[in-house]
Structure 1
Amino acid sequence: MKNQLMIATLASGLALAGCTTDPATGQQRINKTAIGALAGAAGGAAISKATGGDHTGRDAAIGAALGGAVGLYMDRQEKQLQQQMAGTNVEVKRDQQGNIDLVMPGNITFATNSTAINPSFFNTLNKLAATMVEYNKNTVIVMGFTDNVGNASYNQDLSQRRAESVKSYLVSRGVDSNRIMTYGFGETRPIANNDTEAGRAKNRRVEIKINAPQSVN
């Protein structure tokens, strides 16, 4: 009972500390660092309980500290990427698990039916690579996508080769190849209507997911 009360108090304190007010809407929200701390607290408590530990409250506090450190690590990385990608048409956002997603439209990354990266996009990828080298605790997934024009098998192969091209370039700029996985999804995961040119342009894209690490120690 004492441990449960300690965990509840810890979670409540973290939630209150992490609340911020959106200046545009006036609504309160919990920042990503606080979310990481809450997840860490829950994980630490669960592991302690599952293994028969007698220090569930202590382990929850340790988990909260580790989770908060990961959240802060990702917050700083997201802020840096948003600054670097400003004006490039690359979208930077966080998912519900605290990972960072970058969406790169095909019109700025590759020419039609080509796996050669547009030279005008090198500078953007250089900045991304520098951040990935600085924040080296993350694993990264590079994903290629196409519209539905042409043969589905060809589109699948094209999307995979484009993902591999982006990986190769990042590795050439100093990113450890073991951190990067690549996947091609072809035309199977559209984010817009393929019946319009504007929609097809959105579907021709590369996405990069920067995964939150378990720990930053």
Structure 2
Amino acid sequence: MKLSPQTVFVPVLLTLLSACATQAPVQPVAKTDPVPVVVSPVAQLQSQLEGLDAMGVTVESSATGVRVTMPGAMAFASGSSEVDPAAREALDRIATAMTAVSASRAVIVGHTDSAGSARYNQALSEARADAVRAYIAGKGVETSHMTAEGHGEDEPVADNATAEGRAANRRVEIVIAAP
């Protein structure tokens, strides 16, 4: 006698279904607390500083921190060491990042182009670095976590013979080291 597939399938299916119905209910799996994700201080700084490039500020990351470069035209009027209102939003973000990573340290370096005397440019670069340091300190960052330096016209990144080159050389760099 040959059995049809329905003759074999239906009794097997009924046996399986009745076995499932008589088993004890499945116990819920105990939930465990998720493993906390540890984010490095450098990654925290990077996250806090996202979007600064849209403001014309350059952010470069390294294994130990970040370098933020603010163009001088954004940060200061020509010949001035007063922080321009256009730079305040970026400086606010930098202060927030440094506050979030409380053990971070910053070196603020002012640079100028070569127009004017070397002595004047040195003094102007120092005054600009000091102004940025004071602004960030005013946002709650400990002054002991920051140093200000002026490098005058000594470290150009472009040719001072052109207006574009001089504009690129007028800048403030903030090097933030994470612990």
Category of TM-score, reference length = shorter chain: 0.7 to 0.9
How big is each residue's C-alpha offset from its partner over 1:149-205, in whole Å with a ceiling of 9 and x where there is no partner?
110000000000000000000111100000000100000000111111111100000
Q: Distance in 1 between matches of 2:178 and 2:106?
A: 9
From 54, 59, 72, the counterpart of 1:87: 54
* 1:76 matched to 2:27: no
Q: TM-score, normalised by structure 1?
A: 0.63
Please report the RMSD computed on the Cα atoms of aligned residues, expressed in angstroms.
1.7
Query: 2:87: which partner in 1?
Result: 121
Please tell me the residue identity of whatever aligns with 2:40: L
CA contact (8 A) 2:48 2:93 kept: no
Q: TM-score, normalised by structure 2?
A: 0.75
What is the deviation of 1:70? 9.4
Q: Distance in 2 between matches of 1:98 and 1:178?
A: 19
Query: 1:210: which partner in 2?
Result: 176
* 1:183 matched to 2:149: yes
Structure whose alpha-carbon radius of gyration is higher: 2
Q: Which runs of 5+ in 1 are unaligned?
A: 1-68
Query: 2:22: which partner in 1?
Result: none
Please tell me the residue identity of whatever aligns with 2:59: V
Find runs of 4+ consecutive structure 1 residues off by over 3 angstroms: none
What is the deviation of 1:137? 1.0
Aligned pair count reads: 143
- 1:121-200 superposed matches below 5 A: 121-200=87-166
Q: Flag the structure with higher helix content.
A: 1
Taking every aligned residue pair, what percent have the same amino acid on both sides?
Answer: 35
Q: Distance in 1 between matches of 2:109 and 2:91?
A: 15
What is the deviation of 1:71? 7.7
Query: 1:35: which partner in 2?
Result: none
Q: Distance in 2 between matches of 1:180 and 1:161?
A: 15
What is the deviation of 1:135? 1.1
- 1:4-23 superposed matches below 5 A: none
**Higher normalized contact order (CA 8 Å, seq sep 6+, divided by chain length):** 2
